Structure 1
Amino acid sequence: MISFVKAHACGNDFLILEETVAAGKHAALTRKLCARNTSIGADGIEFIERRANGEFFLRLFNADGSEAELSGNGTRCVAAWLAQSEGLNEVALGTHGGVRTCKLIGRKGEEFLIESGMGVPRVMPRTIVLDGVGEVPGAMVKVGNPHFVLFVDTPDFSAHGLSWQALGEKISVSPLFPHGTNVEFVHVKSASEIEFRIFERGCGPTTSSGTGTCASSAASIALRDANPELTALAEGGAQSVVWPARGEAMRLTGPAEIICTGEVLGL
């Protein structure tokens, strides 16, 4: 039996497992446990490694078994679990996308409000060309993992004659991005508020994304003159972003909630 924790951040849900239970079968175990109809169900698994020097390192696997650099929401879920289980109100979590320091801001029951340092965003305007679609202007944004951000004005976030889900899938797996990319469709509602939808690499449409929030906000600030302090609204709820200046680290604040703990059969 494998012990697990399930948590979510604005509906973006993750399982948290100790690295030791993976036994080198991270991908297969993730595909099994993340299946919505036949297992626990989740958007991905955060495997937490406890190193001899007391440091923590996270490996993130998406629901399809692919490994990603990091997840902002997943990292926040792990920070919430460590706050609940071990009383850690501030923790540095290593990831393949860099170290993310998370600080507990407040707590109500099993919901934790956490501020995370998200590194320095890089925003690069780019127009891509997709077969059957044509030119798609947007921006490549790096926030520890890759994103492609499009700005839209349609109420349903559709663009170029396609639903955001259909276009997001095309872009996410396009050979233009050899390692795949996350895709955000952003509507700038005002200088201090944006709304977005996300097609997540290795998972599909999700209700929220921490790095997607940061990428959408960074592109809006850099390319649409949005304020350096933003509220970013996704289907799962709002998160707050502060980007004091270019070249400085972005800070992300949002909720994370522990859903349950339990045991499940392994492979």
Structure 2
Amino acid sequence: MIPFVKAHACGNDFLVVEETLAGGNHAGIARKLCARNTSVGADGVEFLDRLPDGSFFLRLFNADGSEAELSGNGTRCVAAWLAYSEGLKQVTLGTHGGPRSCTTVSCEETEFLIETGMGVPRVHPQTVEVPGVGAVEGANVNVGNPHFVIFVDTDDFSAYGLTWQALGEKICFHPDFPKQTNVEFVRVLAPGQIAFRIYERGVGPTTSSGTGTCASSTAAIALRGCSTTLEAIAEGGPQRVVWPSKSEEMRLTGPAEIICVGEVTL
């Protein structure tokens, strides 16, 4: 039996499992536990390692068993769990994408609003040649993990004659991205507001993404002249991004909710 915590951030759901229980089988556990119809179900598993000096480190494994650098929403879910279970309203969580500082802004029972320092994003325009589609223009954005952002002006986020899901899959697995990439489709609604959809590496379409929110906002601010304070709206709801300047850390504020605590048999 493996104890787990399930939490979600805007519908982007994660399981939190103590690293000591992984036994080196992180990928296998993630594939097993994330299965929607035959197990608990989640977009990924955050393995929480408690280091001897009292600090924390996260290893994120996606639903398909692949390991990712980090998840903004997953990190926030872990921060919510530590605030709920151990009273840690301020915590820094190490990830393979760099440390992320989390502060609980407000809480009500199992629902938390958390601000996270997301590092300094990097962005540059890029064109990807997609067979059967042609040249797809976008932006390569790194917020601790890789993203490709495409601006659209369609209500359904379709682009280049394809649904965003279909084009997202093609770009995610494109040879230009040997380790695959997350793909966002962004509509600028106003100087201070964008909407986006995400095809997430290792998962597929998801209702939300913390790093996807940051990547979409980075591209909108840097390449479309949007406000340095943005509301970014995904299918699962809005999050708030503040990026004062290109040399400063981006900060992300959004919700996280503890769903349940349980045990599962592998």
The aligned amino acid for 2:260 is C
Cα deviation, 1:54-98, whole Å, max 9, x if unaligned, reads: 010000000000000000000000000000000000000000000
Q: In the aligned structure 1, how far is the partner of 2:190 from the partner of 2:108?
A: 30
Q: In the aligned structure 2, how far is the partner of 1:124 from the partner of 1:130?
A: 19
Contiguous gaps of at least 5 residues in structure 1: none
Paired residue for 2:113? 113
Q: Secondary structure at the match of 1:28?
A: helix
The aligned amino acid for 1:231 is E
* CA displacement at 1:190 relative to structure 2: 0.4
* CA displacement at 1:109 relative to structure 2: 2.1
Paired residue for 1:53? 53
Paired residue for 1:147? 147
Q: TM-score, normalised to structure 2's length?
A: 1.00
Q: In the aligned structure 2, how far is the partner of 1:164 from the partner of 1:28?
A: 30
Query: What aligned pairs does 1:57-72 form with structure 2 within 5 A after superposition?
Result: 57-72=57-72
Q: Over the residues paired in the alignment, what is the CA RMSD in angstroms?
A: 0.4
Q: In the aligned structure 2, how far is the partner of 1:27 from the partner of 1:175?
A: 23
Q: Secondary structure at the match of 1:187?
A: strand
Paired residue for 2:192? 192
Q: Secondary structure at the match of 1:150?
A: strand
Cα deviation, 1:175-208, whole Å, max 9, x if unaligned, reads: 1100100000000000000000000000000000
User: Is 1:167 matched up with 2:167?
Assistant: yes
Q: Secondary structure at the match of 2:211?
A: helix
Contiguous gaps of at least 5 residues in structure 2: none
Q: TM-score, normalised to structure 1's length?
A: 0.99
Q: In the aligned structure 2, how far is the partner of 1:31 from the partner of 1:128?
A: 30
Q: In the aligned structure 2, how far is the partner of 1:247 from the partner of 1:158?
A: 33
* CA displacement at 1:108 relative to structure 2: 1.7
Following TM superposition, where does structure 1 have runs of at least 4 consecutive aligned residues deviating by more than 3 angstroms? none
The aligned amino acid for 1:153 is D
Paired residue for 1:37? 37
Query: What aligned pairs does 1:172-183 form with structure 2 within 5 A after superposition?
Result: 172-183=172-183
Q: In the aligned structure 1, how far is the partner of 2:264 from the partner of 2:177?
A: 36
User: Is 1:235 matched up with 2:201?
Assistant: no
